[in-house]
Amino acid sequence: MNQLWLTAKLDIVESLRARWFQIYTLVFGGIVALLFVFGLTESRVLGFIGLSRLLVTYIQLTMAILPIFVLITTVRSVAGDREAGVFEYLLSLPVSLSAWFWGKIVGRYLVIFTPVFLAMLGATIWAAIQDIEVPWDMFGYYTALLAVMALCFLGIGMLISAIARSTDMAQGAAFMVWLTLLLFLDLILLGVMIQGKVAPEVAISLALINPLQVFRTAALALFDPQLIVLGPSAFVILDLFGATGYKIFALIYPAVLGLISATVGYLLFRRGDLP
Amino acid sequence: MIHLTKLAKTFRRVRVLDGIDLDIALGERIALIGSNGAGKTTLIRCLLGEYTHDGEVSIAGLNPRRNRTAVLGNIGFVPQLPPPLKMPVGQLIDFSASLCGTDPQRIHTIARRLGLDVNAVNTRQFVRLSGGMKQKLLIAIALGRDAKVLVMDEPAANLDPEARKIFFDLLAERLDDATMIISSHRLDEVSALVNRVIEMDMGKIVLDDKVADNTPLTARLFCRIILKRFEPAFAKALDGWNFKSRDDDSVWEGEIAGPDRLRFLGIVSRYTALVSDLSLSESAA
């Protein structure tokens, strides 16, 4: 356990000094700041006002940015470290491969989740100071959703890093994964369904196994519990899971997907050449 | 201490190590030489348990891949190229010391002996240190613990002559209780450090020979050079070895480490036409 925490700490310190982290923090801090500047807490859309409106916008933006950011920065730094000889040296020290791999994941997870969470927390604290009502249940669920989203894409990123032998390959693969997930978002699936090219069951199944779509639907469900914007698909989802059941599914499935990806990544990492 | 049996490694159908059999005993100091692509680095990575391979590798009876922490706890490693670590020097020392179960002060002490004041660079990023400073720190981390095997890839390449002398002294202190593998593509860089030479080519051992071991690592040689005429470039080179001049820069005197004599003579050989007299005499350590 000591080796794992040492490795996690090491990764945190390395990340805090990396340029990608500064940009990452700036992006999410900047989003919240801009949302305040543009007066989103005062605007009213779909009956949403105050901080809930800001949180809905924030989570939508985060869902668009965080996955590709996490995928690219994870594979770039892990594959880059391997290419630059960092692995050759640090793995010559007596650290177990499990402590090294999972320690990196723990450190990286804290680094990617903390700025996203702090930006949202900062907005909440500011709202509380300004006497704006804080929707705590929404804040809690969105926090959990962000935590799971970070875990899911970090796991996929670590799997890609374990497979790809060069930074270029890893980056290309990460981008392809993100594009594929984008391709199977609801709007595109809907278009394909309308054209009658795939059965509705297939389209809905694809939407349910696509973590990006799962997050999107879960975020929508908070301000549109009947999922009216999804059209007939909502019936399938709500019949299958129920409103609460889907909210739980949206937390458990991506977390399991991330953990399975990370575990497969670890097994491949342990089996192959390290540097 | 180290046993390699039919060790082979293939990268994309290219056989980089081709069935190597090798036994290395405790206390042996091996020069692992060979041109680029001979297989030295691959062999070292197999020893460190970083590469999968065919055949067997055992260090003190343990496989470095299956018993990583136990084996690597006894190996001090200095890479040829320092890794581009962004962490501060202090954290690198603490991280290494914690994993290796050693006191960070041991690493500080060795770094200080090599001429690197760790306290002055404690908060500086490792990657921002000069090449020589990085090398000194990596050597200090490798030697600052009770390693039974020292694996060093061109360890003294970036060191100034003074630091090289101290480096040889540090190695001399470990002669009885450590096995050393020093990799280089030039024998003259390491010949005086070792008592056995293993040359590799195309993934095979093509030479395995003992070396006459008459000069102790701690030996000092007093050197006196008389020049026919002053040459600024040569004076600068000698100044780098801490030589002092007198008689209008025509006589230069200084002390060099015994194991460094071949390297020193290599530098002097470039200015042979300027030298009218040269003497080297062994002095007590």
The pLDDT score that the predictor gives to residue B162 is: 82
Chain A residue with the nearest C-alpha to that of B66: A96
| pLDDT value at A47 more than 70 | no
First to last CA, chain A: 23
Q: What is the dihedral of CA A269, A274, B4, B6, to 10 degrees?
A: 70
Decide if A86 and B100 are in contact by the 8 Å CB cutoff.
Answer: no
Distance from CA of A85 to the nearest CA of B (A): 5
pLDDT above 90 as % of chain A? 34
| Cα separation, B175 vs B184, whole angstroms | 19
| pLDDT tier for residue A199 given thresholds of 50, 70 and 90 | confident
Nearest CB to A10: which of B45, B95, B151? B95
Residue from A2, A12, A76, A88 whose CB has the most chain B CBs within 10 Å, to mutate: A88
Nearest CB to B50: which of A14, A18, A91? A91
Contacts of B138 in chain A (CB under 8 A): 89
The pLDDT score that the predictor gives to residue A39 is: 61
Distance from CA of A91 to the nearest CA of B (A): 7
- Residues on chain A bordering chain B, Cβ-to-Cβ distance under 8 angstroms: 2-3, 6, 9-10, 13-14, 17-18, 84-97, 271-275
Contacts of A2 in chain B (CB under 8 A): 98
| pLDDT value at A129 more than 60 | yes
pLDDT tens digits, B255-276: 888 878 878 888 888 888 889 9
| pLDDT value at A29 more than 90 | no
The structure tokens 């804040």 sit at A139
pTM above 0.80, yes or no: yes
Contacts of B73 in chain A (CB under 8 A): 94
pLDDT tens digits, A74-109: 998 788 888 888 889 999 999 999 999 999 999 999
The pLDDT score that the predictor gives to residue B123 is: 92
User: Residue ranges of chain B with pLDDT lower than 70?
Assistant: 189, 212-215, 284-285
Residue from B62, B78, B87 whose CB has the most chain A CBs within 10 Å, to mutate: B87
The pLDDT score that the predictor gives to residue B258 is: 80
Q: Which of B189, B275, B192, B182 is nearest to B231 (CA)?
A: B275
Contacts of B8 in chain A (CB under 8 A): none
| pLDDT tier for residue A232 given thresholds of 50, 70 and 90 | low
Nearest CB to B50: which of A14, A95, A273? A273
The structure tokens 């009213």 sit at A44
A56-A58-A62 Cα angle (round to 5) = 120
Decide if B83 and A272 are in contact by the 8 Å CB cutoff.
Answer: no
- Please give the full DSSP string across B116-140, using - where no structure is assigned: --HHHHTTSBGGGS-HHHHHHHHHH
Distance from CA of A165 to the nearest CA of B (A): 12
The pLDDT score that the predictor gives to residue B57 is: 94
Decide if A93 and B96 are in contact by the 8 Å CB cutoff.
Answer: yes
| pLDDT tier for residue A274 given thresholds of 50, 70 and 90 | confident
The pLDDT score that the predictor gives to residue B53 is: 93
The pLDDT score that the predictor gives to residue A50 is: 65
Chain B residue with the nearest C-alpha to that of A82: B83
pLDDT tens digits, B33-80: 888 888 999 999 999 999 999 999 999 999 999 999 999 999 999 998
| Cα separation, B50 vs B182, whole angstroms | 18
Contacts of A5 in chain B (CB under 8 A): none
Residue of higher predicted confidence among A264 and A2: A264
Contacts of B88 in chain A (CB under 8 A): 13
| Cα separation, A115 vs A29, whole angstroms | 7
Q: Other CB atoms closer than 10 Å to residue A227's CB: what's the count?
A: 18
Decide if A10 and B87 are in contact by the 8 Å CB cutoff.
Answer: yes
Q: What is the mean pLDDT of residues A35-58?
A: 66
Residue of higher predicted confidence among B95 and A188: B95
Contacts of A96 in chain B (CB under 8 A): 68-69
The structure tokens 């698909």 sit at A233
The pLDDT score that the predictor gives to residue B99 is: 92
Chain A residue with the nearest C-alpha to that of B88: A13
| Cα separation, A167 vs B143, whole angstroms | 33
| pLDDT tier for residue A223 given thresholds of 50, 70 and 90 | confident
Q: What is the mean pLDDT of residues A138-164?
A: 92
- Residue B82: which H helix or E strand, with range? none
Minimum mean pLDDT range among A150-164, A198-212, A238-252, B144-158: A198-212
- Residue B204: which H helix or E strand, with range? strand B204-210
Q: What is the mean pLDDT of residues A146-171?
A: 92
Residue of higher predicted confidence among A154 and A65: A154
Decide if B83 and A97 are in contact by the 8 Å CB cutoff.
Answer: no
Contacts of A84 in chain B (CB under 8 A): 83-84
- Long-range own/partner contacts, residues B232-237 (CB < 8 A, 24 or more apart): B233/B271, B234/B271, B234/B274, B237/B267, B237/B271
Q: Which residues contact A69 (CB under 8 A, 6 or more apart)?
A: A24, A27, A112
Strand order in the sheet with B196-201: B75-78, B149-153, B179-184, B29-33, B196-201, B204-210
| Cα separation, A60 vs B39, whole angstroms | 52
ipTM: 0.79
Contacts of B100 in chain A (CB under 8 A): 93-94
Distance from CA of B147 to the nearest CA of A (A): 11
| Cα separation, B7 vs A35, whole angstroms | 62
